[in-house]
């Protein structure tokens, strides 16, 4: 059995999904050991892996698995020769990521990340952590969550906040909401599939799952398609544009085309590509026992279903321009919550997408504040894919874990 414990073994056995599409609107996917032209250079691989691991470091389950200082203890001792800023917490690592382009200019190297981190970061004992990290690295095209965390922490003081709490707020485009929800779905689907298929997962299983969510019409198995939903919203907006103007920027159309759209096309540098299509993902990643499955589920939920502090977010929003933000106050939240739930139900029934930027932004502000309420019996989390709560229940029931205290609320952008 292949044990992933070195950078080369990780890189050779990773599913490598390209971050750019081909001219035929497909996106190449392969495995470096089966395709010498994969484009998975050591530096590109390190970047995906390191960014994914740093994002995971802001989850509670990660701390339970490896402790809070694992990444800091994995820094190369000689890093201080090229980077003099103090690194005392994982928040400092986010600042370090921002300085990577500058560091690369100071030394001649084909892989700047190998001058920052030792190979210790690849020798992980937890299969649960390996599972989530493997697929986050593979599908880095969808969402680099470390970048999201950098935005969240922009207006925060490192000394005051040492754990991952979304106390600052940032707007997302429609496409960014889609790609985050898609990555959430994929990680859950793959964990569920790994439980059902005791013989393991093949590349063809993964690409088939991914492509089913980008079908023009929903598949019978999943009953939902991100592409179909986005196309409906896009077409609704485009129909109203008669003067030749572009689709509004808050749709994030360029993000959708670059990061999300494009079914996976398996490629190989060999004449016969059956070996890459039938490539089996190392069981070191997919063969999880019940405790490891529960741990992997906790990692995934911690990544996406986050705790939010009401007062901090509310104060942050009030600092914005008055003409940009509607007045949201605590006393009115319960009234607005009922209205929002009714409107959400109406939206879904009528497929009524937001037509104005102010309405769309208001919906994001409200949802963030709703998630931050201190008296929530269950943590609210807004989703596009109605299958997500079913997947969470299925996985939790498989390992006899209690159902997480999360209230998933379906909505439209």
pLDDT attached to residue 236 = 77
In sequence order, the 6+-apart residues with CB closer than 8 A to the CB of 194 are 131, 200, 201, 286, 287, 288
CB 261 within 8 A of CB 215: no
Is 53 within a domain? yes
Q: How do residues 180-215 score in pLDDT, each as one tens digit?
A: 999 999 999 999 999 999 888 999 999 999 999 999
Is 351 within a domain? no
Q: How do residues 71-82 score in pLDDT, each as one tens digit?
A: 999 999 999 899
| Chain position carrying tokens 């990643």 | 285
Residue 74 lies in domain: 7-304
pLDDT attached to residue 325 = 42
pLDDT attached to residue 400 = 80
Is 407 within a domain? no
CB-count burial class (<10 Å; 0-12, 13-18, 19+) for 398: middle
Residue that wins the pLDDT comparison between 410 and 129: 129
pLDDT attached to residue 334 = 46
Is 275 within a domain? yes
Is 370 within a domain? no
Structural domain count, the chain: 1
What one-character DSSP code corresponds to residue 202? B
Is 45 within a domain? yes
| Chain position carrying tokens 């019978």 | 220
Is 225 within a domain? yes
pTM of the model: 0.90
Q: Which two tokens stand for residue 201?
A: 């997962």
With cut-offs at 50, 70 and 90, classify the pLDDT of residue 16: very high
Does 359 score more than 80 pLDDT?
Answer: no
Is 388 within a domain? no
């Amino acid at each position: 059995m292949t044990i992933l414990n070195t950078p080369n073994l990780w890189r050779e056995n990773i599913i490598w999904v390209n971050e750019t599409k081909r001219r035929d609107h497909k996106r190449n996917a392969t495995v470096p050991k089966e395709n010498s032209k994969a484009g998975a250079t050591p530096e590109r691989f390190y970047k995906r892996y390191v960014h994914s691991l740093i994002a995971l470091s802001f989850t509670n389950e990660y701390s339970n698995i490896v402790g809070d200082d694992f990444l800091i203890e994995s820094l190369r001792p000689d890093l201080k020769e090229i980077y003099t800023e103090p690194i005392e917490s994982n928040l400092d690592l986010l600042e370090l990521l921002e300085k990577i382009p500058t560091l690369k200019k100071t030394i001649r190297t084909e892989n700047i990340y190998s001058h920052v981190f030792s190979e210790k970061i690849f020798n992980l004992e937890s299969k649960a952590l390996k599972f989530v990290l493997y697929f986050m690295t593979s599908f880095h095209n969808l969402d680099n969550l470390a970048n999201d965390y950098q935005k969240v922490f922009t207006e925060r003081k490192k000394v005051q906040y040492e754990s991952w709490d979304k106390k600052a707020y940032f707007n997302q485009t429609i496409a960014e909401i889609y790609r985050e929800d898609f990555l959430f779905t994929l990680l859950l689907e793959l964990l569920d599939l790994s439980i059902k298929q005791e013989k393991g997962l093949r590349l063809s299983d993964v690409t088939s799952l991914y492509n089913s969510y980008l079908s023009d019409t929903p598949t019978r198995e999943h009953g939902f398609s991100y592409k179909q939903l986005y196309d409906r919203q896009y077409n609704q907006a485009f129909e109203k544009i008669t003067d030749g103007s572009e689709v509004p920027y808050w749709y994030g159309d360029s993000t959708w085309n670059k990061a999300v759209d494009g079914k996976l096309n398996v490629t190989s540098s060999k004449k016969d590509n059956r070996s890459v299509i039938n490539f089996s993902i190392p069981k070191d990643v997919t063969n999880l026992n019940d405790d490891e499955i529960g741990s992997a589920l906790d990692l995934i939920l911690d990544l996406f279903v986050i705790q939010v502090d009401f007062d901090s977010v509310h104060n942050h929003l009030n600092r914005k321009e008055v003409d940009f933000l509607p007045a949201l106050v605590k006393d009115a939240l319960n009234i607005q919550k009922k209205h929002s739930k009714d409107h959400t139900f109406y939206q879904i029934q009528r497929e009524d997408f937001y037509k104005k930027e102010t309405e769309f932004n208001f919906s994001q502000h409200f949802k963030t504040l709703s998630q931050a309420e201190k008296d929530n019996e269950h943590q609210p989390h807004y989703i596009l894919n109605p299958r997500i709560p079913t997947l969470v229940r299925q996985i939790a029931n498989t390992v006899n874990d209690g159902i997480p205290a999360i209230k998933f609320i379906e909505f439209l952008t």
